[in-house]
Amino acid sequence: MSRTKIVAGNWKMNKTLNEATALVNEVLKNTNEFDEVQKIFFTPFPFLNDISKQISGKKNFSVGAQNCSEQVSGAFTGEVSAVMLKSTGCNYVLVGHSERREYFKETKEQLTSKIKLALDNDLKPVFCFGEKLAERKNKLHFEIVAQQLKEVLSSFSAVQLKNIILAYEPVWAIGTGETASPAQAQEMHRFVRDTIAELFGTETALNISILYGGSCNAQNAQELFACPDVDGGLIGGASLKADDFCKIIYSF
């Protein structure tokens, strides 16, 4: 089993370029590039190239985008394609974040196309999914998560899954300060791994990294990362402060 441990910061729509480079400087100063944790900064589009240069040559540091177009190229004003992302030096892209699903009404067809274009352009997609509060209250969380996984990932092969990372982000925990308990996180991550095994076989399931996201912070990261099926975190608010982000990196 060779699962990569990952701590990724999703900055969302925060920071100016100067603030962003200062944050990355602080993180670089206070972490060891040779530890085994893969650290990814999911920055806004305009910072991708600068931050890529800033971390260039640093082992186990990468840059990712928060979205990409489902179109290859052409007359789509304001959109950013996968090939453009790759040309900035970035290596990862978030696909299907709940904020994109909710506010931009992204569909399973769009998400499938985004993942395909990311893979075609040598970008690793981090595919996000998770249930809403009402769905959990109605005990539909496993059903919803299985559906979100199957409706998109069934278009891909076990070989392609080697380059895909999963992120379970229960919507009720995002930006709310309410975190899934370690038991809730483990239970769902295990379920996700079992679903991947069902779709693609045990080897693929054992090797895919599954991140937890949703009010993960310097206080709770350690107990979440101690869960056997939690391979790291996708961090929102707490990734905006170097101190907190570094503490999370050292929470394995």
| Site of interaction with ligand 13P (CB under 6 A) | 10, 97, 169, 174-175, 213-216, 234-238
Residue 1 CB, nearest distance to ligand 13P (Å)?
Answer: 25
Task: Please say which residue, 200 or 236, places its beta carbon nearer to ligand 13P.
Answer: 236
Task: Please say which residue, 132 or 158, places its beta carbon nearer to ligand 13P.
Answer: 132
For 10, the 3-state DSSP assignment is strand
Residue 219 CB, nearest distance to ligand 13P (Å)?
Answer: 12
Q: CA separation (Å) from 1 to 47, 55, 67, 157, 203?
A: 35, 28, 30, 19, 8
Residue 128 CB, nearest distance to ligand 13P (Å)?
Answer: 7
Q: What would the two tokens of residue 223 be? A: 């107990």
Task: Please say which residue, 204 or 209, places its beta carbon nearer to ligand 13P.
Answer: 209
Out of 99, 106, 169, 189, the active site residue is 169
Which residue's entry shows tokens 């990569």?
A: 4
Residue 9 CB, nearest distance to ligand 13P (Å)?
Answer: 8
141 has catalytic annotation:
no
Out of 97, 99, 106, 189, the active site residue is 97
For 145, the 3-state DSSP assignment is helix
Task: Please say which residue, 1 or 105, places its beta carbon nearer to ligand 13P.
Answer: 105
151 has catalytic annotation:
no
For the chain, helix, strand, coil in percent to 5 are 45, 15, 40
Position with the least CB separation from ligand 13P: 236
How does 119-135 read in b/e, with b if 16+ C-beta sit within 10 Å? bebebbbbbbbbbbeeb
Give me the active site residues, please. Answer: 97, 169
